[in-house]
A and B are shown apart, each in its own frame.
Chain A
Amino acid sequence: MDYAASEPGATAVASALAIKILIAGGFGVGKTTMVGTISEIRPLHTEELLSERSVGVDDTSGVEAKTTTTVALDFGRITIREGLWLYLFGTPGQDRFWFMWDELALGALGAVVLADTRRLQDCFPAVDYFEQRGIPFVVGVNCFDGARRYDPAKVRRALGLNETIPVVLCDVRERESVKHVLTTLVTYAVEGV
């Protein structure tokens, strides 16, 4: 960049920084809800275009997709101050969009893996993904009404998580709860840096 690094007074511009956090987990676990609870911008949901090459084979017809298709991608923003933002990206759930994860994950500070205790297995792929790439993550157990309240230690064991990875109970419809999950992640991720 041609920022004047030698000018100490120029930091307001030179230090503009957007920090990326991913929200992952199975379908219906609350990713979109979480981004919506905390984000200050709308639309929170963009339809992303995919080229025919990216999509490869069309699921429904079994033939090479010739047309552009779309995938919904949630994103939200939290402004900390002028020139410092947090961005939340909800990772697309469907398997055929895995390639998008690599792009989303690049340079990310960390990830929140949302888990629903009624179908814990749905978050295995996300846990594996972040573990393999050494991306810091925390597990947020979304406490749906009527779901059995699990002890975080049991969730940790069921997911085979290392002792150091935070597991927190949350309700992604509640702002305070989402704030707690995010501060836990930021603290955990920064400790590892």
Chain B
Amino acid sequence: MTGEDPGPLIRLFGLTGGRARPQGEAFDLVAIVTTVSGSYEPADLIPEHRAVLSVCRRPTPVADVAAHLRLPLNVTRVILGDLRREGLVTIERPRPVAQTIDERIYREVLHGLRSL
């Protein structure tokens, strides 16, 4: 599964410094990430960080950020943890499902699924 070409792995290692876990408070794979508007964007941001800030101007789930960046989820999470520490993004805190889904959302989901 690891393949023959170590190139991609080395690049990923560079993005995370080999870390497997993000800094700070844990967050979910589908937590909503939002770029902090008006924050001062450092000039020396690496392209992946810049891409995250651009995508997350619209609130975007972690898994979608990974899809946009074409990076593995856990590499994406390390990057997001770094950006949060820099104060450039906010990441929604884990919420129990019962608090997130009300009758209206449930109806919307059912309707949305049926009309796919």
Interface residues of A (CB under 8 A from B): 1-2, 13, 16-20, 38, 41, 43, 46-51, 53-54, 67-73, 75, 77-81, 83-87, 89, 103-104, 106-109, 175, 179, 182-183, 186-187, 189-190, 193
Contacts and interface: CB of A to CB of B under 8 A. Distances in A.
28 contacts: A1-B90, A16-B32, A16-B59, A18-B32, A18-B61, A43-B70, A49-B75, A50-B20, A54-B20, A69-B1, A72-B1, A77-B67, A78-B113, A80-B108, A80-B113, A81-B108, A81-B112, A84-B105, A84-B108, A85-B61, A86-B113, A87-B63, A107-B95, A107-B96, A179-B114, A183-B110, A186-B110, A193-B101
Contact of B73 (A1, A73, A109): A73
Interface string B75-95: 100000000000000101111
A109 B97 contact: yes
Contacts of B63: 18, 75, 77, 87
B51 interface: no
B113 A186 contact: yes
B72 A46 contact: yes
B100 interface: yes
Nearest first, the 5 closest Cβ-Cβ pairs linking A and B are A51-B20, A80-B112, A18-B30, A18-B61, A16-B59
Interface of B: 1-2, 9, 12-13, 18, 20-21, 28-32, 34, 59, 61, 63-64, 66-67, 70, 72-75, 90, 92-98, 100-101, 105-106, 108-110, 112-114, 116
Given A19-B100, A20-B28, 9 more contacts: A1-B93, A19-B30, A43-B70, A49-B20, A69-B1, A70-B72, A78-B116, A107-B96, A108-B97
Nearest to B19: A51
